[in-house]
Amino acid sequence: TRDMSPFSSFSALVYSLSFAIVISDGSDGNPHGWDRTRRCDHTDYDPPCGTCEGIGGIPYGDDNDEITLTSCDVVANASDVDASTLIKPVWGSKWSAPVYFEILIGPKVDPFCFSVIPSNSSTGDLCYRADYGSQIYDMTEGGPGAVRFDLNSKTPVGNITSEILHADTSFWIVNKLPWYALGIEQCICTQVHEGGAASSSLSYPIQYNWTSQMSYIGRENIGIEYIDEIRTLDHWAFGPHHAWSDPDTGATIRLWQPYNGLQIFPNGTQDIDFDESLFEIPPALCKKGGALARIKCDDDGYPTGETEETNQPMTSADSTRAERMPGDAYKGTSFGQMSEVLNGWLGESDVETKDCDSFNVTELRQLQAVLYLLRDTRLDDIYQTSEDNRRMRHSMEDLEEHWQELDHAIEGHTPDHPIHSLQRDGHCHEAVMWFVHHLTEDVKELVAGSGLVIPLLSFTRHDLPEDATAGHQKLHKAYEEQVTCASCHSYAVASS
Coil, strand or helix: which one is 164?
A: strand
Res. 307: pLDDT tops 70: no
| 193-197 contacts, C-beta under 8 A, 24 or more apart | 194/19, 194/22, 195/19, 195/22, 195/119, 195/120, 196/12, 196/15, 196/16, 196/19, 196/117, 196/118, 196/119
Average pLDDT of the residues in 159-175 = 87
49 in the same domain as 2: yes
Mapped onto helix, strand or coil, the DSSP state of residue 207 is: coil
For residues 482 and 385, membership in a common domain is answered with: yes
Could you tell me the pLDDT band of residue 45, with boundaries at 50, 70 and 90? confident
**265 and 403 co-located in one domain:** no
User: Is residue 192 a contact partner of residue 296, using CB atoms and an 8 Å limit?
Assistant: no
Alpha-carbon Rg for the chain in angstroms:
26
What was the pLDDT predicted at 17? 37
Is 235 a residue whose pLDDT tops 80? yes
**What's the pLDDT band for 325 if we cut at 50, 70, 90?**
confident
Q: What is the pLDDT of residues 423-453, one digit of tens each?
A: 999 999 999 999 999 888 877 887 787 778 9
Give the per-residue pLDDT at 217. Answer: 97
Query: Does pLDDT of 88 surpass 70?
Result: yes
What is the DSSP-derived secondary structure letter of residue 218? E
Q: What is the pTM of this model?
A: 0.69
In a domain, 215, yes or no: yes
- Which residues on neighbouring strands pair with residue 149, listed in sequence order? 135, 164
On whether residue 121 sits in a domain, the answer given is: yes
Q: Report the domain count for the chain.
A: 2
Give 273's pLDDT tier (boundaries 50, 70, 90): confident
Residue 1, pLDDT score: 38
Residue 7 pLDDT exceeds 50: no
Residue 302 lies in a domain: no
**264 & 328 share domain:** no
Mark whether 341 and 484 lie in a shared domain.
yes
Same-domain check for residues 16 and 90: yes
Q: Which domain holds residue 361?
A: 316-489
The residue among 70, 100, 98, 90 whose CA lies nearest residue 247 is 90
Cα angle 257-258-259, degrees, rounded to a multiple of 5: 95
Cβ proximity of 157 and 22 under 8 Å: no
Provide the greatest CA pair distance for the chain: 86
305/285 Cα distance (integer angstroms): 18
Res. 204 pLDDT band, cuts 50 70 90 = confident
Predicted confidence (pLDDT) at residue 33 exceeds the cutoff of 50 = yes
Dump pLDDT digits (tens) for 335-353: 888 889 999 988 888 899 9
- Strand-pair category, 352-354 with 252-257: unpaired
pLDDT the model gives residue 179: 55
In the listed set 257, 281, 305, which residue is the last one of a domain according to the structure?
281
226 in the same domain as 345: no
Domain identity same for 385 and 249: no
Torsional class of 167: left (φ above 0), alpha (ψ -120 to 50), beta (otherwise): beta
Residues 277 and 321 in one domain: no
Which pLDDT belongs to residue 395?
Answer: 63
Shared domain for 139 and 226, answered yes or no, is: yes
Whether 180 shows a pLDDT value over 60: the answer reads no
Shared-domain flag, residues 45 and 109: yes
CA gap 306, 298 in Å, rounded:
11
Report the pLDDT value the prediction gives residue 15, as an integer from 0 to 100.
38
In a domain, residue 294? The reply is no
Q: Look at residue 310 and tell me whether its pLDDT is greater than 50.
A: no
The pLDDT score that the predictor gives to residue 196 is: 57
pLDDT surpasses 80 at 67: yes
Q: C-alpha angle with apex 154: 153 to 156, nearest 5 degrees?
A: 135
pLDDT over threshold 80, residue 397: no
Q: What pLDDT shows up at residue 16? A: 37
pLDDT, one tens digit per residue, over 363-384 is: 898 888 778 877 787 888 888 8
What is the model's pLDDT at position 372? 80
Quick one: average pLDDT of 98-124? 82
What proportion of the chain, given as a percentage, has pLDDT over 70?
83
Residue 277 has pLDDT above 60, yes or no: yes
342, 277: one domain? no
Last residue of a domain, one of 222, 254, 281: 281
